Amino acid sequence: MLRDWRVWGLLTAVLLVLCVLIAWAVANDRKLWAMFVGVPYFKPGSALFRELFTRAAAAAEVPSEWAESEALAQLVAAESGGWVGIPNFTWNNLFGSKYSSAKNAAAWPALWPGLRKGNWPAVDKSAGFTSRAIGIGQLQPANIAKYYPSGYRGVGVPLEEAVGTLRYIADRHGDPEAAWTHHKLHGSY
**Cβ atoms of residues 42 and 84 within 8 Å:** yes
Q: Where are the domains positioned within the chain?
A: 1-29, 38-186
pLDDT of residue 105: 86
- Give the whole-number percent of the chain exceeding pLDDT 70: 85
R_g (Cα) of the chain, nearest Å: 20
Q: How far apart are CA 117 and CA 164, in angstroms?
A: 17
pLDDT, greater one: 122 or 30: 122
**Averaged confidence pLDDT in the chain:** 87
Residue 181, pLDDT above cutoff 70: yes
Query: Sign of torsion, CA 18 23 29 33?
Result: positive
pLDDT in the model for residue 96 = 75
Smallest CA-to-CA distance from 104 within 8, 20, 27, 175 is with: 27
Helix H or strand E segment including 106? none
Which whole number is the average pLDDT over 49-77? 98
Lowest mean pLDDT, pick from 66-70, 102-106, 130-134, 149-153: 102-106
Q: How confident is residue 72, by pLDDT bands cut at 50, 70 and 90?
A: very high
